[in-house]
Structure 1
Amino acid sequence: MSDTLLHRSASQDAEALLSVKGLKVHYPVRQGWRGRSLAVRAVDGVDLSLRAGQCLGLVGESGCGKSTIAQAILGLVPATSGHIRVDGHDITGGRRADPMQLARSAQMVFQDPMSSLNPRQTIREILAGPLRLHGMGNRDERDARVQEMLRLVGMKPDAASRRPDEFSGGQRQRLCIARALILNPKLVICDEPVSALDVSIRAQIINLLLELKDELGIALLLISHDLGVVEHMSDRIAVMYLGRIVEEGGWREIFTDPAHPYTRALISAIPDPLHRDQAPERLRGEIPSPLNPPPGCAFHPRCPVAMDRCSAGANPEFTTIGPDHRGRCHLIESELQDA
């Protein structure tokens, strides 16, 4: 690697609000009563970086490890190996960040707003709870902060005295966003934030998140399998398959010139009313088990353009395609060598 690339990489890490390097999360299991010990490789060597004011979309099929990455970033599941830093705080290693400090830096918006709100508490109690837990302000100051957050997410002041079951799904998600932002975090992880909502409400929540990102300067890590949402919200996109990132780049590079066969298959599955005659690229077979991933490239059993070398040898390494575009595929390596 050249000195220029080393300097650029070092400067990006210095600016990154979130830095994930070589992250692995393996869950040990035992096969049978007296069977050998195995490990579910939920995340198997992931590198990510995210700067303030950016939105990084993390996409892939269910079970590929997206939510596990989010939980590892928040310290909710232990990392088997690798390094995570959030706003200068170490999440892994010997000098792990205090959970209270981490909570003030990173928060999460969950998929189902109803199950993440306490039905026995009023909205005032739900929103003021984090402030009280962190010892921030007196009662009047906390009430003022609650009113400020309600206004920020487009809710009326009288919502504070009501309970979660008195609101619609979209309103409850607005309240979850308010709770996530009440401590002024710099990173907000959104795990399928609109998948449980009606289609008519999704656009409102998406636009609200984008407005808050620009107004507050926060970073968003958007986890989703809906590429339409990811395309609309993300500055950069990372495509994940079976615990590993297979392609990463700016949203324009990913959607206009996808390099990995898996990425192309995902994008071709997006409904397009202007090109109804174009059938999506269909992948054969099922996702392999993370207990026993296939040799070589993990995607080769389902890949429509797999070569002999894909099933033999090591998993392909990342190949630089452009200034902000890289992919993990032997086909990419071959095409660049031929160019």
Structure 2
Amino acid sequence: MSDPAMIPPETAALASDVLLSVEGLKVHYPVWQGWRGKSMAVKAVDGVDLTLRPGECLGLVGESGCGKSSIAQALLGLVPITAGRIRLDGHEITGPAKVPPLQLARSAQMVFQDPMSSLNPRQTIGEILSGPLRLHGMGSRSERESRVAEMLGMVGMAPAVASRYPHEFSGGQRQRLCIARALILRPKLVICDEPVSALDVSIRAQIINLLLELKVRLGIALLLISHDLGVVEHMSDRIAVMYLGRIVETGGWRQIFTAPSHPYTQALISAIPDPMHRDRVPARLGGEIPSALAPPPGCAFNPRCPLAFDRCRAGEGPAFTHIGPDHQARCHLLQAGTSHV
């Protein structure tokens, strides 16, 4: 362990400024195949490092099945992790010294994709929002009612709706209520798993702007999981691109969208519809996503990468190459100094 006196002040300040720290996270799901019950593991998350600072929005993007939701569930303690370390707000989420689930719930909450299925249809809005407060023993009944009214106002809803039921609201209104429930305990981190994908296009902008407004107003950090790169570009300060259980590129939103360095990131960005350049041909990826039961050797993207060569198909895969400040990617071509943008 390093002597605190030997740590430079600027390094110590940077470490204290990190709200969420994920190191070497692995989430493997055991499965059994065949009549003899052969044990195998789905490597949903296979060595992920992430950091998130207060008031920051980190966009996590990638194809379905790449492990984004498994990361979110691991951060909330909903699934056991295979290896790695998670620290949130100075507390251990993993290991023997991990914080109790109730204490973790005060620091991190989640907004789910489908607002209707995440709200109890048998409870009124007031009961749904005050439930976490009752569970944590926070305040008297009048204080809890006051907090519910305050949160409803923050998300643009009248306090009078507390006596109504979820089915009486539209999809956009229900998502506002889900956001209010996530913020009722005043957490420091809110994980948004596809928060607008189930909503009408006309409503999405309202929910996006509400989340951004609350991020600034309350100083919360957001982990945004989304397939919609337009939403990610609009909301995120930094972006992490994930492929088959691993992060392949990270950087600021401008760096990722204007100068993507990994071939997979380039393919994602080129697939965004651009009405100003209708003749642009998006990059096409061949083949199928490899199975997480048996990832390919070397770079996991090599079976679909048009630039793959022998080195990409062997070994443990490429390490991160630093391209610029806070911008790095896993690609052997970058390590070789070969430009492929």
Query: For residues 317 and 8 of structure 1, do their structure 2 counterparts lie closer, same or farther at Cα, with a shift above 3 Å needed?
Result: farther
1:314 pairs with 2:326? no
**Aligned partner of 1:274 among 259, 276, 293:** 276
Counterpart residue number, 1:107? 109
Match of 1:232 in 2: 234
Distance in 2, matches of 1:280 and 1:337, equals 19
In structure 1, distance between residues paired with 2:203 and 2:10: 41
Residue 197 (structure 2) pairs with residue 199 (structure 1) = no
Please name the residue that 2:259 is paired with. Answer: 257
Match of 1:279, SS state, is coil
SS in 1 for 2:191: strand
Distance, in Å, in 1 between the alignment partners of 2:201 and 2:182 is 23
Tell me, in whole angstroms, the C-alpha distance in 2 between the residues paired with 1:242 and 1:313: 17
My pick for the range that moved more, 12-21 or 56-65, is 12-21
Q: Which moved more, 1:5-14 or 1:147-156?
A: 5-14
- Equivalent in the alignment of 1:31: 33
Letter in 1 for 2:182: A
Aligned counterparts, 1:103-252, within 5 A: 103-252=105-254
Q: Tell me which of 282, 295, 298 is aligned to 1:296.
A: 298
Say which is worse superposed, 146-155 or 326-335, in terms of deviation.
326-335
CA distance in 1, matches of 2:165, 2:30: 41
TM-score, length-scaled by structure 2:
0.95
Task: Tell me the TM-score normalized by structure 1.
Answer: 0.96
Matches of 1:64 and 1:264 in 2, distance apart? 17
Distance 1:299 1:308, change over 3 A: same
TM-superposition CA deviations, 1:92-142 (whole Å, max 9, x none): 111111111100000000000000000010000000000011111111111
Q: The residue matched to 1:183 in structure 2 has which SS? A: coil
One-letter amino acid of the counterpart of residue 320, structure 2: F
Runs of 4+ in 1 over 3 A off after TM superposition: 5-13
Instruction: Please say if residues 260 and 328 of structure 1, whose CA atoms lie closer than 8 Å, have aligned partners that are also in contact.
Output: yes
**Distance of 1:288 and 1:20 partners within structure 2:** 25
CA contact (8 A) 1:13 1:19 kept: no
Q: Which runs of 5+ in 2 are unaligned?
A: 1-6
RMSD: 1.6
Give the stretch that moved more between structures: 82-91 or 108-117: 82-91
CA distance in 1, matches of 2:266, 2:287: 17
Shift of 1:306: 1.1
Offset, 1:279: 1.2
* Match status 1:330 vs 2:332: yes
Deviation for aligned residue 1:296:
0.5
Q: Cα–Cα, structure 1 residues 287 and 331, in superposed 2: closer, same or farther, change >3 Å?
A: same
Shift of 1:12: 3.5
SS at match of 2:214: helix
Deviations 1:219-274 (A, max 9, x none): 00000111100000000000000000000011111111100000000011111100
What does residue 58 of structure 1 align with? 60
SS at match of 1:61: coil
**AA partner of residue 331 (structure 2):** C
